[in-house]
């Protein structure tokens, strides 16, 4: 008994079942109302952030040495962690763009998109490390409060606040579209918060002489940073483990395919992130329709329009196969 075997646009005769694989079509970026991809994140933002913040790190560390301020030197170290984070995020975006333009080579068939996930994970871990360093220094200064040059601290930290806030605002628009951009945004907002906290602490110390305020404010800022970093860490670990991206319900996707006319079962459904912006999907659809090509187009349309998934591969089956006897 003969059935149709459809692969993209070619029909072949095959006994036992009807298969349809889509590898070359259904790739779409920027669907569902927003634009995806490293091009949208703007590599120039990473370059500008790197140059400005690296220059400030050097100046702040020098000011800390001149004023004999451990607070400024510690803040310079935290700023340096943000510079490294921006370097990782910008490098990952560049790699992902390079892969898109066909330079990934025959071995990396998905390109370098996963580098954006690794960079987001690295950024989260770097933030946690920076928080640990700040908390350690704060606890030491709680035990041994020391006089600080509050005037110099306020001026330099105030400049740092403006620089870090300005850098963060460059990434704010795209932070919900790309986990990697979100990491850069959180880094710079966290550092702006640290700088603002140092300014406030300097003002209080100037007015009251309570040097312990500096350490207390530092610990409060660490708590705020950790709360924001937890979500980034969780999402980046999930993507690194090829889990479904945040915001996509696999059960809902399964139900949407089951609702297609003629589809009686869905199995081997997998959804994972190719990068921090692009999602891939594979699924086997068991059906009784004679128009396999039309069903394939409908399944792709559902993935694109409802779930913003452009990388799709479907296998269409007319009956139960050994890998899914319950179908």
**84 falls in which pLDDT band (50, 70, 90)?**
confident
Mean pLDDT in residue range 189-211? 81
Q: Which domain holds residue 286?
A: 2-31+245-317
Neighbours of 218 (CB within 10 A): 24
| Structural domain contains residue 98 | yes
Q: How many domains does the chain have?
A: 2
Quote the CA–CA distance of 102 and 289 in Å, as a whole number.
37
Q: Of 240, 255, 288, which marks where a domain is finished?
A: 240
- Which structure tokens are listed for 53? 């913040």
Quote the CA–CA distance of 55 and 192 in Å, as a whole number.
16
**205 falls in which pLDDT band (50, 70, 90)?**
confident
**180 falls in which pLDDT band (50, 70, 90)?**
low
| Structural domain contains residue 299 | yes
Closest CA to 319 of 296, 285, 293, 271: 285
Q: Which residue has the higher pLDDT, 175 or 15?
A: 175
Q: What is the pLDDT of residue 86?
A: 76
Mean pLDDT in residue range 48-53? 85
Q: Of 181, 212, 240, which marks where a domain is finished?
A: 240
| Structural domain contains residue 90 | yes
- Are 204 and 255 within one domain? no
| Residue 315 · residue 20 · CB < 8 Å | yes
Q: Of 201, 216, 240, which marks where a domain is finished?
A: 240
| Structural domain contains residue 322 | no
| Structural domain contains residue 100 | yes
| Residue 285 · residue 295 · CB < 8 Å | yes
Question: Could you give the C-alpha distances from 171 to 44, 256, 276, in angstroms and in order?
Answer: 11, 34, 15
| Structural domain contains residue 59 | yes
Closest CA to 122 of 233, 2, 261: 233
| CB burial of residue 214 (10 Å; 0-12, 13-18, 19+) | buried
Mean pLDDT in residue range 190-201? 81
Residue 104: pLDDT above 60?
no
Residue 166: pLDDT above 80?
yes
| Structural domain contains residue 14 | yes
**315 falls in which pLDDT band (50, 70, 90)?**
very high
User: What does pTM read for this prediction?
Assistant: 0.62
pLDDT digits (tens, 9 = 90+) for 249-300: 999 999 999 999 999 999 999 999 887 778 899 999 999 989 889 999 999 9
Closest CA to 166 of 43, 41, 52, 42: 52
- Are 232 and 255 within one domain? no
> What is the radius of gyration, based on Cα positions, of the chain?
26
| Structural domain contains residue 169 | yes
Q: What is the pLDDT of residue 68?
A: 65
CATH label of the domain that carries residue 84? 1.20.1510.10
Q: Which residue has the higher pLDDT, 35 or 263?
A: 263
Residue 110, classed as helix, strand or coil, is: coil
């Amino acid at each position: 008994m003969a059935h149709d075997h459809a692969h993209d646009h070619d029909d072949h005769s095959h006994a036992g079942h009807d298969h349809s694989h889509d590898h070359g079509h259904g790739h779409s970026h920027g669907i569902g109302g927003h634009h995806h991809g490293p091009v949208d994140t703007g590599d120039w933002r990473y370059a500008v952030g790197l140059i400005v913040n690296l220059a400030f790190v050097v100046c702040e560390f020098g000011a800390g040495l001149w004023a004999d301020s451990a607070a400024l030197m510690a803040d310079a170290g935290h700023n340096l962690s943000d510079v490294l984070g921006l370097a990782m995020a910008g490098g990952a975006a560049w790699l992902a763009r390079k892969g898109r333009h066909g330079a990934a080579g025959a071995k990396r068939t998905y390109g370098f998109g996963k580098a954006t996930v690794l960079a987001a994970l690295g950024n989260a871990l770097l933030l946690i490390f920076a928080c640990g360093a700040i908390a350690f220094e704060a606890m030491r200064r709680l035990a041994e409060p020391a006089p600080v040059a509050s005037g110099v601290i306020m001026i330099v930290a105030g400049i740092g606040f403006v620089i870090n806030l300005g850098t963060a605002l460059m990434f704010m628009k795209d932070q919900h579209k790309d986990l990697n951009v979100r990491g850069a945004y959180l880094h710079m907002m966290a550092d702006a918060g640290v700088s603002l906290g140092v300014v406030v602490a300097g003002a209080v110390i100037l007015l009251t002489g309570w040097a312990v305020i500096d350490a207390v404010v530092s610990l409060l800022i660490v708590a705020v940073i950790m709360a924001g970093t937890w979500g980034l860490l969780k999402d980046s670990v999930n993507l690194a483990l090829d889990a479904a991206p945040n915001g996509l319900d696999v059960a809902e996707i399964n139900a949407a395919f089951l609702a297609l006319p003629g589809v009686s079962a869905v199995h081997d459904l997998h959804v994972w992130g190719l990068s921090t912006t692009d999602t891939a999907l594979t699924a086997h659809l068991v059906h009784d329709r004679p128009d396999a090509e039309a069903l394939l187009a409908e399944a792709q349309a559902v993935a694109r329009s409802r779930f913003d998934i452009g990388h799709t591969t479907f296998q269409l089956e007319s009956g139960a196969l050994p890998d899914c006897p319950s179908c």
